[in-house]
Structure 1
């Protein structure tokens, strides 16, 4: 997944793939034996001088080094890009991201996704904790995202987000913005200010 493919609540799949010749997970998953994939081995053999000298190789030059969070790539996760003028948090599963894309996993992922894409959290990020690139875009860095105060997980919000993640609808998005303001106990005046920016 590339950063340019990520949209608010979703992504545009570019049909690009990564060959993940991982080193395995001790006691859970064996390392990839490249001999079982002759076309991939033939492709990598063209670069033998480079891959054989890599400092970050796994058990063999064909394998990637150990990755402590390898299993997280198969979980449902929120991904986002670092530089963006607006929040672009998307829900994915079984996807590996490239470049300056961040991801998180955990419980109540739909609840968190709804909060992160809401106008209220966007306002809070812009005015309280965010940093900019210096050219008009925000830097949605993991350590700043972690500073966002989260309200207790709410099943109703999760259902709305589940609906919008499958088929983006502007009216559902507006409902989520209103609901998030309610969860944070904003007054009507405060809610009006946030929603109508």
Structure 2
């Protein structure tokens, strides 16, 4: 489990723009729009450093939209040695425009904290560190680079689709509300309470994986997902051996008939 990328600055913000009026707010520094990426006329070698960059606009509860709007120049700490950037002249030219802005540890060409690239590749779960009203955990199986406003969870010890359903359940939201930190109605998802969640390993992980696929298919088709979410919540209550009276503490509106239906 790790934070996402700390670029120092991915795009020009108000603070930068007020200090450097020749820069435009929203202009890409390490982050790039599709238009900005295309205008750089990057070589194939340079394109190998350009990674799909996702935000909460594409990352939803349970799943993410694979079609990214932005990209990130993924230059790790080795680019602190300015000799390395010489092989990427168009990227160098772009970043040189921001040499006074990029004051991070790996300036002027490296991301402040690139993180291990393995975290962004293949199967993973992504969660916003500050989440309004409810925790949101997202399964992705494609390359998905995110900023430090997210945590990235990777493990081979448990099926990640099952884990996504579990982490998004009412039971775990209750756990995080009282074992984690809250800022008003916002959940602050920290590493310590997440790592302390008692994860039950199940023999029928494929059953939960199929439930996940069904839920996402319904969601993407704009169908009602409440019945399947209700089913998942009840199955997870029972997985942890909760009685109906205990469940009422978490979910006071659940009926005994509903609880006993699964």
Q: TM-score range by the shorter chain?
A: 0.7 to 0.9
The offset of 1:111, in angstroms, is: 1.8
| 1:40 paired residue among 60, 71, 91 | 91
Q: TM-score, normalised by structure 1?
A: 0.76
- Could you report, residue by residue, the CA deviation over 1:113-157 in whole angstroms, capped at 9, with x for unpaired residues? 11110011112222x302112x33121111111111111134122
1:177 corresponds to = 233
**In the aligned structure 1, how far is the partner of 2:192 from the partner of 2:171?**
19
The offset of 1:163, in angstroms, is: 2.8
Asked if the contact 1:131/1:139 (under 8 Å) is kept, the reply is yes
Q: Does 1:10 align with 2:63?
A: yes
| 1:87 paired residue among 113, 135, 157 | 135
**In the aligned structure 2, how far is the partner of 1:49 from the partner of 1:103?**
31
| 2:116 paired residue among 51, 65, 69 | 69
- Could you report, residue by residue, the CA deviation over 1:67-124 in whole angstroms, capped at 9, with x for unpaired residues? 5622221131111112222011111231111142111111221121111100111122
Q: 1:120/1:83 Cα in 2 relative to 1: closer, same or farther (>3 Å)?
A: same
Q: 1:9/1:188 Cα in 2 relative to 1: closer, same or farther (>3 Å)?
A: same
Asked if the contact 2:104/2:111 (under 8 Å) is kept, the reply is no
Mind listing any 5+ residue stretches in structure 1 that lack a counterpart? 25-32
The offset of 1:193, in angstroms, is: 5.2
Q: TM-score, normalised by structure 2?
A: 0.59
Asked if the contact 1:3/1:98 (under 8 Å) is kept, the reply is no
Q: 1:157/1:21 Cα in 2 relative to 1: closer, same or farther (>3 Å)?
A: same
Asked if the contact 1:161/1:176 (under 8 Å) is kept, the reply is no
Which structure has the greater CA radius of gyration? Answer: 2
Q: How many residues matched?
A: 183
1:110 corresponds to = 161
